[in-house]
Chain A
Amino acid sequence: MIQYILIGLLILGMILTMYQLYLSNSWTTMIKRKQEQYTNAPSIKSNQKALYHRMELCTLALACVLFVPPQMLQKNNSVAPEFILDDGDAISYQLKNESDMEIAPQKANPLSSTNHNTNRELSKSSPDSISLITMLSNQQELVTVSLEMVDTNARVLDSATFLELYANQEILISKQTSLETCDYIVLISSKDISERELLFKEEEKEYLLCDSMDEICYALSK
């Protein structure tokens, strides 16, 4: 949409500049003819550098807008997960188009809630960290997403156990929005989202996974 508006504005600018060039040319010609009635050497000069420069700029900008890859202007919607909220707590998601992720679904999503009485839907344009972990836990060969676990002493831990635990749990959105202390940090990075830090903490009845950027915490019941 932004691209179309830009193209429209630039074309309008070019048309107006061309009209001004035409006006400038016709005025210069008229005055030159008049001057020739009084003198053999007309003093008027065709000074259209500024207009030609503006025309060049418009053309250049138009070329840039036309040849900019559409991905740079639009976020990739192909992997947009759809969230369906169940009475404000339970969360389930489904990928709109799994083939776009270059993976074949191997099993049904274990995180899908079975009792959906929902009417509220929340769509996001790009996958967030939690949906990427979910995808990872379902499909471990996923090459576009990487996950790393670091403990508080900056030691890298094995993330396979975490993913296995994650895949078999029901995830709820916790009332808590942040964690002050954590057991370890889950670093997740993909081409769709830049590196994100998730804080993981084991509590008495549940595991908490908090995204400080989105200010949201997910609870995995034990």
Chain B
Amino acid sequence: MFKIKFSITEKDKIKQVLGIEESQAYEIVLCKCKEDMEEDKINLVFDMDRLDEVATKIQFFTEVKKIYLDGKSEAGEIRLALEDILYIESFGNDIYAYTMNEIALLPLKLYQLTEQLEPFGLIRIGKSCIVNVAHIYAVKPHLNGKLTITMTNKKEIEVNRTYVTSFKNYIKK
């Protein structure tokens, strides 16, 4: 999410104070002069002296509101945070959401979920399956064009050849 354009020692301090990490796919640039600013990105230009002030401002970006899905589990009605869902699978008319510890029956149709959840990193990879990209642990491409995805709970899900292209396009965005 962030790119920090400071010296190495300053960078470490910024990471520590702001509690952020750098990533290759970033949207926000933290820099100390206008020359370091990047087009099409959110740029925060500041001196190290004013780092504490930046800390309060940056909360706006870091504290993203959680999105929840309501469902039913064995324990009763529960609310699942979208970021905790590993994958969603359909069995006939029933749609189940899987987290690390829970399985919940969702009251929605798979095509509705596909449309609603795609902006949040959940992508359809088969006739009956949606995966959360953030929870992919490993990927294994096959020579026949298929793909096997291993989720963080070690569950292996196969991506059919018909869905590989759309999955690839989504990943590349």
Is there an interface contact between A40 and B140, defined as CB atoms closer than 8 Å? no
* B142 / chain A contacts, CB cutoff of 8 Å: 20
Which of B5-13, B16-24, B38-46, B72-80 lies on the face that meets chain A?
A: B16-24
Q: Is B139 an interface residue (CB 8 A)?
A: yes
> Nearest chain A CB to B130's CB is how many angstroms away?
15
Is A43 in contact with chain B by the CB < 8 A criterion? Answer: yes
Interface residues of B in 23-78 (CB under 8 A from A): 23-27
Q: What B residues does A40 contact at CB under 8 A?
A: 1, 20-21, 23
Residues of chain A within 8 A (CB-CB) of B158 are: none
**A27 contact set on B, CB distance < 8 A:** 139, 141, 147
Query: At the interface, yes or no: B108 with Cβ under 8 Å from chain A?
Result: no
Give the interface size bracket for A toward B. Answer: 20 to 34
B21 near A37 (CB under 8 angstroms)? Answer: no
**B84-115 toward A: CB 8 Å interface, digit per residue (1/0)?**
00000000000000000000000000000000
Q: Are B134's CB and A39's CB within 8 A?
A: yes
B contact residues around A24 at 8 Å (CB): 139-141
Contact (A44, B136) CB under 8 Å given A16-B143, A19-B143, A24-B141: yes
Given contacts A27-B147, A30-B172, A41-B21, contact A35 B133 (CB under 8 A): yes
- What are 26 inter-chain pairs, A to B, with CB distance below 8 A? A20-B142, A23-B141, A27-B141, A27-B147, A28-B139, A30-B171, A31-B133, A31-B136, A31-B171, A34-B25, A34-B121, A34-B133, A34-B171, A34-B173, A35-B133, A35-B134, A35-B136, A37-B27, A38-B83, A39-B83, A40-B1, A41-B21, A42-B23, A42-B134, A43-B136, A43-B137
Binding site for B on A (CB under 8 A): 16, 19-20, 23-24, 27-28, 30-47
Chain B residues close to A by CB (< 8 Å)? 1, 20-21, 23-27, 83, 120-121, 133-143, 147, 150, 152, 168, 170-173
